[in-house]
Amino acid sequence: MKKIRCPYFELNDLERTYHDKEWGTPCRNDRKLFEYLMYEVLQCGLSWDTIIQKRAAFRVAFERFDFEKIARYGERDIARILAVPGMIRSRRKIEAIIHDAQCFIALRRECGTFSKWLWAFTDGKTLHNPDNAKSDEWTAPARTELSDRIAAELKARGFKFLGSVTIYAFMQSVGLVNDHARFCFRYKELRQGDGAK
């Protein structure tokens, strides 16, 4: 039987696999959270499909998003990253990722883990888009009051390239919010996974 998915993820096999196994699944691992957050930095001005096609190159370029290593990158590392086949050739984005790794470490030093800081915004629970629960249409906002708050706090801590719209996309990807369409098979799986009715 064919799986019914959110229509946005039907472009190709990579998109479908990402949707089925990752998008919206609650993540509490700091390294993975950093990786997903940096995908939003890399995506600025580009399509998600471009990012998903280049994820393997990004993981090579940024040493599987080891934020401790990235925070120490210098000019030689930037030159190396720019030379990785398939890499987005934006020095500004690479420099932002290095800077954001330093901010990420500072936040962890203060709060224990980034995960603890992030999930405190929702009391540790996934928020479920109420519009998706009420209809068979697929609706998802570009930003919310919560993404405004998280983006503002990150900006105050020095993070770059992370506005409210990119933070909302991050919230969707790491399961802070479940924006799967009600007709999507993942919507029900994620609702059951956190005990929601």
Q: What is the pLDDT of residue 137?
A: 62
20: how many CB neighbours lie within 10 A of its CB?
Answer: 16
CB contact set of 88 (below 8 Å; sequence gap of 6+): 42, 46, 50, 54
pLDDT band at 9 (very low <50, low <70, confident <90, very high): confident
Alpha carbons 171 and 88: distance in angstroms, whole number: 23
- The domain of 99 spans 7-17+27-124+141-178
Residue 110 falls inside a structural domain: yes
Residue 40 bears catalytic tag: yes
| Secondary element (H or E) of residue 34 | helix 30-43
Q: Is the pLDDT of residue 62 over 70?
A: yes
Residue 22 bears catalytic tag: no
- Name the percent of the chain lying above pLDDT 70: 92
pLDDT band at 6 (very low <50, low <70, confident <90, very high): confident
Contact criterion met (CB below 8 Å) for 179 and 191: no
What is the rounded end-to-end Cα distance, in angstroms, of the chain? 25
- Residue 88's CATH number: 1.10.340.30
pLDDT band at 134 (very low <50, low <70, confident <90, very high): low
Residue 91 falls inside a structural domain: yes
pLDDT band at 197 (very low <50, low <70, confident <90, very high): very low
Residue 185 falls inside a structural domain: no
Of 48, 73, 117, 119, catalytic = 48
pLDDT in tens, 68-121: 999 999 999 999 999 999 999 999 999 999 999 999 999 999 999 999 999 999
Residue 131 falls inside a structural domain: no
Q: Is the pLDDT of residue 18 over 50?
A: yes
Residue 102 falls inside a structural domain: yes
Mean pLDDT of 49-75: 97
Of 8, 18, 22, 153, catalytic = 18
Of 23, 36, 39, 40, catalytic = 40
Q: Which residue has the higher pLDDT, 8 or 93?
A: 93
Number of domains in the chain: 1
Residue 152 falls inside a structural domain: yes
Residue 22 falls inside a structural domain: no
Residue 164 falls inside a structural domain: yes
pLDDT in tens, 145-162: 999 999 999 999 999 999
Q: What is the pLDDT of residue 147?
A: 97
